[in-house]
Amino acid sequence: MAYSSVNPFNGKLLKSFDELTDKELEEKLVAAEKCYKTWKHTSYAERAKIVANAAKLLGERVDEFAHTMTLEMGKRIDEARGEVKFSSDILAYYAKNAERFLAPQKLNPTIGDAHMESSPIGVIFGVEPWNFPYYQLARVAGPHLMAGNVLVIKHAGCVPQCAIAFEKLFIDAGAPVGLYTNLLISHAQSDKVVDDDRIKGVALTGSVDAGRSIAARAGQNLKPSSMELGGSDAFIVLEDADLDHTIPWAVWGRMYNTGQTCCAAKRFIVVDKIADKFLERFSAALGALEAGDPLDEKTTMGPLSTESALVQLLKQVDDAVAHGARVILGGKRVVRPGSFMHPTILIDVAKDNPAFRDEFFGPVAMFFRVKDEDEAIELANDSDFGLGGSVFTRDIERGRRVASRVNTGMMFINNISWSDAELPFGGVKDSGYGRELGDMGIQEFVNKKLVRYAKVEAPV
């Protein structure tokens, strides 16, 4: 069954769902297009009533939404509650700010007057991942619905109950039929949706392979797309870093969401002078984490999202070792029910090792020792990915200098505060293109139209 809820804590099947028939899919696309013809003419105030109401309901039902998430993909319950609250904040942010972001922009031509105005383009197709089952939805729903578009969404196969709950949230908030539609569809049906003339844009968050496939198909259809793909973020520790401050961020940056985050800290690049102390303390902190029930607030490490995700990660570690890397912590699954893996540190990962280019989507850290700041930056940039990264130093100006030299979409100094509603999120290289959140996020799927008036004679 393509859409199945399996609790990764104990491997038990919770519920499974049938995919839509082609007839049911067509009915939903018809409803979405019909809704758009009305929604695009509604005022920002009318749109905001529904989006803000969805934010309010989400904020009032944090425990309910968080519980479903934890059961389906294993996120620790306190992290799950945080995601629900943040998702509510994102919806509220766009309900409040969309009109300002898309207000006509006055231009100053040499003759006459002109302005740019923004208008929606139609039905947007979103393909979203399982690792943040509500946040990923909120950051497309907030901006694009407020811009006057409507959404049809294919969510990940392992979180169908989260997907259904988010659609119901908008229904409960008073959304018209077709405004936000969850699609339980196959990959073949997904391709047909991208090809469909009623779809005017495509937004994907997922793997590099998925991005290449969907972006190519959207391109063939001359449809705009945004791609938020993987990452292998560098966590740079300079010799003057405060380890009392740095180590907790290192642990959080690698282990938040059991390491299943595209912009997690994955490559720990430490200047030699402080490397031994960092590695000793980092290893001890990771080794102290204990697997447990993610519904228990005392649990410090949850399971991976699925058994297949765990098997894939274990294989990556084994392949890395086969090519010369060494495991100095973990490297194995936890001997207990559920899809748990010990926190793992790999060292001696050479450039010809496949692991050097890989993304480890789970609790696996690669550690690199470098001689100085320049070598740290060179290694940070030696990646196919370019999503985020961080640098730790007591000298903030030095941190800014390093941040400017690392080729990513985002850099953080002495923290890894990935997301705020008002901060654009996205990357470069194999990490994709386009931005979500902030004032940039709402611009991805709007028509930016030039309107000019000039009292001039026609050329002869």
List, in order, residues 6 or more apart from 169 with CB less than 8 Å away: 54, 57, 58
Q: What is the DSSP letter of 20?
A: P
CA distances to 141, 204, 304 from 135, in Å: 10, 14, 18
Q: Which of 79, 128, 167, 228 is catalytic?
A: 228
**Measured distance CA(193)–CA(433) in Å, rounded:** 21
d(CA 153, CA 25): 12
| From 79, 262, 373, 444, active-site residue | 262
Rg (CA), the chain: 23
Residue with tokens 């990923």: 136
| Contacting residues for 286 by C-beta, under 8 A, at least 6 apart | 251, 254, 255, 329, 330, 343, 345, 363, 365
Cα 215 to Cα 26, 387, 444, 446: the distances in Å are 23, 18, 14, 18
Q: Which long-range contacts does 114-118 make (Cβ < 8 Å, 24+ apart)?
A: 114/450, 114/451, 114/452, 114/453, 115/450, 115/451, 116/448, 116/449, 116/450, 116/451, 117/448, 117/449, 117/451, 118/147, 118/443, 118/446, 118/447, 118/448, 118/449
* Catalytic residue list contains 359: no
Does the annotation mark 262 as catalytic?
yes
Give Cβ neighbours of residue 199 (< 8 Å, ≥ 6 apart): 122, 123, 124, 125, 152, 193, 223
3 state DSSP class of 119: strand
Which active-site residues does the annotation give? Answer: 228, 262
